[in-house]
Amino acid sequence: AHLDAIDRLNPKLNAYITVVPEQDVLTAADAADARYAAGTARPMEGLPVGVKDLFCTKGIKTTAASKILANFIPPYESTVTARLLDAGSLFVGKTNLDEFAMGSANITSAYGAVLNPWQRKGDEATALVPGGSSGGSAAAVAAGLALAATGTDTGGSIRQPAAFCGIVGLKPTYGRCSRWGTIAYASSLDQAGPMTRTVADAGLMLEAMAGFDEKDSTCSNRPVPAFAQAVGKSIKGLRVGIPAEYRAPGLSPEISAMWEQGIAWLRDAGCEIVDVSLPHTKYGLATYYIIAPAECSSNLARYDGIRFGERKDAATLDGIYEATRAAGFGEEVRSRILMGTYVLSAGYYDAYYLKAQKVRTLIKRDFVEAFEKVDVLLTPTAPSAAFAQGENMADPVQMYLNDIFTVPASMAGVPALSVPVGLDSKGLPLGLQIIGRHFDEETVLSVGGALE
């Protein structure tokens, strides 16, 4: 069914950059059948999974949606995808994304934009964005082109597209999943996570993806709990914080109403609702858009035409670098590299980068202090529902504002889940975000399960 959906819908949605040859999928499916028959099926045996094209997959082209990696076939498997394979999952393709995961609408991919499978009621002509950067994963799961998909989230790239496409997306605690073999954007923020149709599926998939890996020094050695079992647990007596600062101007009234509805549902389920304050929230976006480009400018220095991917020849080594990078990187990536090198440059480092690091500590402290009073926080995932292709394009700051509710949890490294909770008056899905304590994905999943 998923392969049929790929045949039928991928030409329109453009959710996959690379589709695994059908015969390979069917062979793997037969092997999965045999394991079910023999009673040796593993937790994700035979489940068709889409893999964001940012995870290196051995023998399968991995592009990061960039021209600079157009023909890169990794000779190794990322830790996360290796674990998913070990758990029995079956990869059906590599999903589209914003180039190097930089974006909020999946429009910067060198392989074309992704279409959101949802449409506004009575306005089927307007093409909507799926969100980004994991827009291909979100569209694939929403339209049945995969049962689940991997995403990565640096400042919201799992949660915001999940909200725009009406699916579940979980950014785990920083350090929960190994980053080894995942193409780096901003290393102090990047986290892999599951994008699924249900919260229970997200728990199951995270169980397979997570855990210590000696190849990533920031990967935690904490044991991996039975996440799937957290779903369905009673949430009675939990304290749910509502951060005042998220009642931001510009928040759509329909999202505000959905948030109130979510609060009411949790109160009815026996939670205690507590007003909290995260006073440094207003610096979140500005700080993020200094730190993330700074790290990206450093990480993307490796694409020099010598070690990876495409090369444009020139007479000198510097000439090769220049020609390769000018031809290989898209506009958004180039602008982020420029921003990053600027804030890291000797004359501006203290004023921008160092200052941003200090503010990041304050943002993190806000969360730690809030979690002394409450068990989780409930907020909207994004300030609007999916917007139209072409909207928010003229002004990059307008586009960056999409990340206003997702960036703070990334800066703090805490886990955050987006759950689809209803539709707006145009029939588009809306998501609410549940943010938890460091390494307490279980409580986040319990609350998410109660809201879905």
Positions that interact with ligand GLN (CB under 6 A): 101-104, 133, 153-157, 185, 292, 403
Minimum distance of ligand GLN from residue 104's CB (angstroms) = 4
163 and 429 Cβ atoms separated by less than 8 Å: yes
Q: How far apart are CA 438 and CA 76, in angstroms?
A: 30
Minimum distance of ligand GLN from residue 102's CB (angstroms) = 5
402 and 395 Cβ atoms separated by less than 8 Å: no
For ligand GLN, the closer of residues 208 and 401 by Cβ is 401
Minimum distance of ligand GLN from residue 292's CB (angstroms) = 5
Measured at the alpha carbon of residue 323, what is the angle toward residues 113 and 53, in degrees to the nearest 5? 35
For ligand GLN, the closer of residues 156 and 172 by Cβ is 156
State how far the alpha carbon of 408 is from the alpha carbons of 184, 296, 448, in Å.
20, 18, 19
For ligand GLN, the closer of residues 93 and 151 by Cβ is 151
444 and 434 Cβ atoms separated by less than 8 Å: yes
Using alpha carbons, select from 128, 127, 46, 42 the residue that is nearest to residue 91. Answer: 46
209 and 177 Cβ atoms separated by less than 8 Å: yes
Minimum distance of ligand GLN from residue 86's CB (angstroms) = 26
157 in catalytic set: yes
Residue nearest to ligand GLN (CB): 157
State how far the alpha carbon of 292 is from the alpha carbons of 190, 230, 360, in Å.
10, 32, 12
For ligand GLN, the closer of residues 433 and 446 by Cβ is 433
For ligand GLN, the closer of residues 174 and 321 by Cβ is 174
Catalytic residue among 66, 78, 133, 178: 133
End-to-end CA distance of the chain: 25
Minimum distance of ligand GLN from residue 161's CB (angstroms) = 9
- Alpha carbon 20 to chain centroid, angstroms: 22
**DSSP H or E stretch at residue 418:** strand 416-423
**Residue 41, token pair as written in the block:** 């099926």
For ligand GLN, the closer of residues 294 and 430 by Cβ is 294
Using alpha carbons, select from 170, 182, 160, 165 the residue that is nearest to residue 400. Answer: 160
For ligand GLN, the closer of residues 153 and 304 by Cβ is 153
252 in catalytic set: no
Minimum distance of ligand GLN from residue 101's CB (angstroms) = 4
171 in catalytic set: no
94 and 355 Cβ atoms separated by less than 8 Å: no
250 and 388 Cβ atoms separated by less than 8 Å: no
The identity of residue 441, as a single letter, is: E
For ligand GLN, the closer of residues 119 and 357 by Cβ is 357
Catalytic residue among 157, 297, 418, 446: 157
Q: How far apart are CA 115 and CA 178, in angstroms?
A: 30
Strand partners, 194: 150
Q: Is 183 exposed, middle or buried (0-12, 13-18, 19+ CB in 10 A)?
A: buried
62 and 56 Cβ atoms separated by less than 8 Å: yes
Q: Which residues are part of the catalytic machinery?
A: 52, 133, 157
